[in-house]
Structure 1
Amino acid sequence: MPGEERAELDRLLPDWHFREVHRIPVARPTAEVMKAVHATTWAEAPLARALVALTRADVSADRRIVADYLSTMGEVVPAGEDEFLFVGAQSPGDVPRPQGTVLEIVTGCREPGILKVGMNVRHADGVLSTETRVLATDERTRRRFAPYWWLVRLGSGLTRRSMLRAISRRALAGAAAG
């Protein structure tokens, strides 16, 4: 399937308990699409903006979705020219967050009570995609997180699809202007 070759997310978080993937075809060179990934603002994705605003996050119209907002949710990880990647780690409940950088926690922590999160925005083989993975370090944490995941999944999916459409429109408009 197009867009399925190995991404940096596969190396950092190869296993997961929860996963969400959204794809949209964008027939533009990867460099142009990734430029749009970094430049697209909330004003260009009104549905995503409205849904994220429900969480009281700063979704000012001029803020860039990926570069300004999504990157605040974790640590941006260097990836290939076709992928924007960030990872996060949290310890819901009564477990203290382990020592180390977010990247160190995601790649090496085995302590119970931790949720490891990775999300990318990627363009490969003419397909723009976003993938989110969540891995709990123990069964209790996985069970505690599952209801939240199923509750937010619909809104999250609508947000991601709106974001991808906005990025696609920007990339295609750039091509038409050039």
Structure 2
Amino acid sequence: MTSMERGSELARLLPEWHFREVHRLPVGAPAEAVMAAVYRTTWPEAPLARALMAITGEDVSPGRRIVTDSLAAMGEVVPAGEREFLFVGIQGLGDTPRPEGSVLDLVTGCAEPGILKVGMNVRFADGVLSTETRVLATDEATRRRFRRYWLVIRFGSGLTRTSMLRAIRVNARRDQAGSPS
């Protein structure tokens, strides 16, 4: 685990995982500009991500913000400090219904078979903007079933995340260039 990951709220909430994807991009802008861009960047500013997500049926309309509107709709937003946006979700796989309870409590404590615990962040630390996804299955059968899905979507997911990070970087640098010295 790198020092960037060690300090993340995601690493604290999901210290173990079966599936993981990390993308990083140096930004070269102040943290305030970067995090403002994280909260404001919209789908049209990341055309590749928009095209790929449109295939899945996601609402990628022009005014919709990538992180705060779309990604947060997939789970529960968790307070994670000034430089990390974090959401977590829990899902029953196949015929397994989603258990009752708060998403955060279920992610940290649920062990019922057939459940996937999912966490994703967008974080800025040490001049690097990153996104990390972690998925933990509660049993081996669920892990095997999810692995097939992961193999299909992982490449497109990586392209989507990279496109998203680049759009955020462009916005952050534009803000920095336009700000008074």
Is the pair's TM-score, using the shorter chain for normalization, greater than 0.5?
yes
Match of residue 14 from structure 1 = 15
Match of residue 178 from structure 2 = 177
Contact 1:117 1:133 in 2 (8 A): yes
Match of residue 113 from structure 2 = 112
Gaps of 5+ in 2: none
**Separation in 1, partners of 2:93, 2:144:** 12
Contact 1:9 1:119 in 2 (8 A): yes
Deviation at 1:139, TM superposition (A): 0.4
**Separation in 1, partners of 2:99, 2:37:** 35
TM-align CA RMSD: 1.0
Deviation at 1:5, TM superposition (A): 4.1
1:161 aligns with 2:135: no
Deviation at 1:98, TM superposition (A): 1.2
Q: How does 1:71-90 map to 2 (within 5 A)?
A: 71-90=72-91
1:134 aligns with 2:139: no
Deviation at 1:3, TM superposition (A): 3.0
Match of residue 94 from structure 2 = 93
**Separation in 2, partners of 1:26, 1:161:** 13
SS of the residue 1:122 aligns to: strand
Match of residue 34 from structure 2 = 33
**Separation in 2, partners of 1:82, 1:5:** 14
Deviation at 1:27, TM superposition (A): 1.4
Match of residue 60 from structure 1 = 61
**Separation in 2, partners of 1:96, 1:107:** 18
**Separation in 2, partners of 1:12, 1:2:** 16
SS of the residue 2:172 aligns to: helix
% identity of equivalent residues: 69
1:3 aligns with 2:4: yes
Greater shift, 147-156 or 89-98, is seen at 89-98
Deviation at 1:6, TM superposition (A): 1.4
Match of residue 45 from structure 1 = 46
Deviation at 1:80, TM superposition (A): 1.3
SS of the residue 1:112 aligns to: coil
Gaps of 5+ in 1: none
Match of residue 125 from structure 1 = 126
**Separation in 2, partners of 1:26, 1:88:** 28
**Separation in 2, partners of 1:94, 1:2:** 39
Cα offsets for 1:47-89 (capped at 9, x unmatched): 0000000011110022100011000000000001110000000
